[in-house]
């Protein structure tokens, strides 16, 4: 997607346990490689809502055009909690686009940024409504401080994305490894799947398998690419 100098690329989230791509994440970049957060910062509240919806629709259409329908993978769409003022209304354009492209709702994951910035009841409504309509949800941003762990456990998204700061640090930091060793069984006990982001070297990838973390994303897996769904070169993890 290229609109007003904005581009959507796709980056795989690999399942090393199954040796396949679990999902492709739509990655928005603006002029000068600005991030979605930076683009939104210049907008008022109403514009952010419309921007969020347009990006979701564009991600679905362009992923479908790139071959998502035959890939067997899901599509992970970043969204922002403060833009989801009415969950069913906010989701409707994306569901309509998915239907037109032959993508079922169960193959859509909405990765919710800034989930701790909204009230508990509103966050609960988002997770409930998205699930009722068939979509998965992921909370983005669980790092070394584990500040969001209680929220994740209380509102039960389908997935949690671990911050790159925590993940990439396990290659060289003993304290980061201890944190991850403590965190992963707690996530499992809450019934939450974790996606390890920021996997930037083979050493990190190898260590993540030892923690039982098989959903991985980062430049060691594949970089984001526009107009295509890049295939990571991964061997299936040993049982």
- Rounded CA-CA distance 195/158 in Å is 11
Q: Summarize pLDDT for 101-127 with one digit per residue, the tens.
A: 999 999 999 999 999 999 999 999 999
Please give the distance of CA 66 from its chain centroid, rounded to a whole number: 19
First to last CA, the chain: 39
Please give the distance of CA 67 from its chain centroid, rounded to a whole number: 19
Surface-to-core class of residue 239, CB atoms within 10 Å of its CB (0-12 exposed, 13-18 middle, 19+ buried): exposed
Within 8 A by CB and 6+ apart from 237, the residues are 16, 17, 19, 209, 214
Q: Summarize pLDDT for 171-194 with one digit per residue, the tens.
A: 888 998 999 999 999 999 999 999
Record the pTM.
0.93
pLDDT above 70 (res 3): no
- Rounded CA-CA distance 48/40 in Å is 6
Residue 101, SS3 per DSSP: helix
* Residue 29 confidence class, pLDDT cut points 50, 70, 90: confident
């Amino acid at each position: 997607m290229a609109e007003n100098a904005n581009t959507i690329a796709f980056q795989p989230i690999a399942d090393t346990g199954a040796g396949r791509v679990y999902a492709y994440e739509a990655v928005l970049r603006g002029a000068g490689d600005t991030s979605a957060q930076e683009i939104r910062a210049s907008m008022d509240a109403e514009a952010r809502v419309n921007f969020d919806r347009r990006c979701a629709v564009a991600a679905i259409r362009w992923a479908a055009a790139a071959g998502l329908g035959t890939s067997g993978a899901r599509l992970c769409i970043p969204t922002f909690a403060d833009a989801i003022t009415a969950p069913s209304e906010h989701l409707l354009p994306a569901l309509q686009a998915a239907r037109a492209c032959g993508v079922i709702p169960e193959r859509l994951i909405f990765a919710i940024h800034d989930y701790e910035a909204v009230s508990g009841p509103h966050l609960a409504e988002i997770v409930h409504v998205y699930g009722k309509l068939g979509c998965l949800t992921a909370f983005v941003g669980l790092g070394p401080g584990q500040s969001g762990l209680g929220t994740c456990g209380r509102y039960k998204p389908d997935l949690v994305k671990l911050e790159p700061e925590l993940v990439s640090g396990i290659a060289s930091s003993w304290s980061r490894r201890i944190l991850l060793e403590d965190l992963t069984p707690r996530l499992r006990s809450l019934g939450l799947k974790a996606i390890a982001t920021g996997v930037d070297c083979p050493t990190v990838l190898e260590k993540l398998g030892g923690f039982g973390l098989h959903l991985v994303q980062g430049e060691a897996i594949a970089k984001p690419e526009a107009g295509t769904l890049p295939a990571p070169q991964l061997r299936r993890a040993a049982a």
